[in-house]
Amino acid sequence: MKVEFHDTYLIFIIALLWVLCFLRPIITFIGELTHTCINCLHEGCLCCESFQVCGMYNQNILLLLVFLHPVIFSTIVIRNHSTYGTNVTSSIYNIDVENWQFIDEVNSTNSIPSHSTQLASSNTIISTQSIYVVDYLFYALPFALTASFSSMLLVHLSKASLLTEYTVWGDDIDEEVLLYEGAYALELLFLNMSLIAASSSLCTYTEIFFATVSLTLIELYFIATSRYPRHNSTEHNLSAAFLILLCVVCGFIWTQIVNYEAAVTAWVAVVHATITVLVVISHFAAMGTCLARQIILGRIAISIIALLTHDVILAFGRDQLIAK
């Protein structure tokens, strides 16, 4: 069975993207950003009151890049379809779970596999597996949509002055920021799923799902504890135990699921491992004392690394990269 992405989905993607991510705030932000850039062209760096202001605008430019990535993904795929036709594809091969079926030996001419189990003289039960060829975009697009949504939440929090240059990432942070934390948790889930699927080959959906959930839950522990200081050795030992558990889970993922025979899948696995290390270290070292902008910039950088990885694979075609 083959599941493909078609050009007609672009209309739905654009409509969903702009409805979910608030059309008015993004247009206002683009207008302010354009006005600031024009001033900077005329006045140079003197237009910025401080380096923090320039840093905020640079951060917003990165957020805008993350926001537009669902459309970028779709544009790359449509360009490949229109330029090269269906010969350039980015597919992921997944194995469906085993389905047990009864076969009537008298009325069926199908050959029975060697591992079939005989129940009676006229009936046989066999296990079957189906290989699904899934378009790469169906794994990458949910991550792009959730990243786009969380980026717009950051813009909203910045506009409402709930996250400023001097906000401390501590336990007294505003409750509205927790909505962004939930959106980022969902983004991290789809990030892990997309990169695990991109680096695997001929894995079942169950393996990809449980590997994604296990890795995400361990990462969420460090994200949740990043706003609280560790006061005693018990908390340090618990964090160390989760670090060890993370190493075990990651070791299982990269030894059982990753396809090391192809250079592109091995490269995606290395990128994913790097992203996992950055997520854990940046939140493990926070301990409720670092500034919120440091955490946010780290998260934006991680999202952009993952999105650019998907850009490269979509542009050149996963099937073609594996075949080389």
pLDDT digits (tens, 9 = 90+) for 142-155: 999 899 889 888 88
Digit-coded pLDDT (tens) for 279-294:
999 988 888 788 888 8
pTM over 0.75: yes
Angle between the N-to-C axes of helices 263-284 and 292-316, in degrees from 0 to 180, rounded to the nearest 10: 170
Most confident stretch, 27-41, 62-76, 165-179, 188-202: 188-202
Q: Where does the pLDDT of residue 134 fall: very low under 50, low under 70, confident under 90, or very high at 90 and above? A: confident
pLDDT of res. 86 = 57
Q: φ and ψ at 135, to 5 degrees? A: -60, 135
d(CA 242, CA 248): 10
**SS3 labels along 281-309:** HHHHCCCCCCEHHHHHHHHHHHHHHHHHH
Q: φ and ψ at 117, to 5 degrees? A: -110, 125
pLDDT of 90 above 90: no
Digit-coded pLDDT (tens) for 98-114:
555 544 444 444 433 44
Q: What number is the average pLDDT over the span 16-29?
A: 60
pLDDT of 192 above 90: yes
Short-list 145, 133, 190, 118, CA closest to 14: 145
- Give the HSE-up count for residue 243: Cα atoms under 13 Å, Cβ half-sphere: 15
pLDDT of res. 33 = 64
Short-list 307, 32, 309, 4, CA closest to 155: 32
Q: Given 1.20.120, 1.25.40, 1.20.1070, 2.60.40, which CATH number is that of 2-86+138-323? A: 1.20.1070
Between 179 and 40, residue with greater pLDDT: 179
* In the chain, where the domains are located: 2-86+138-323
pLDDT of res. 104 = 47
pLDDT of 236 above 90: no
pLDDT of res. 311 = 93
pLDDT of res. 115 = 40
Digit-coded pLDDT (tens) for 240-267:
788 888 888 888 888 888 888 889 999 9
DSSP conformational letter for 135? E
d(CA 164, CA 293): 7
d(CA 61, CA 283): 23
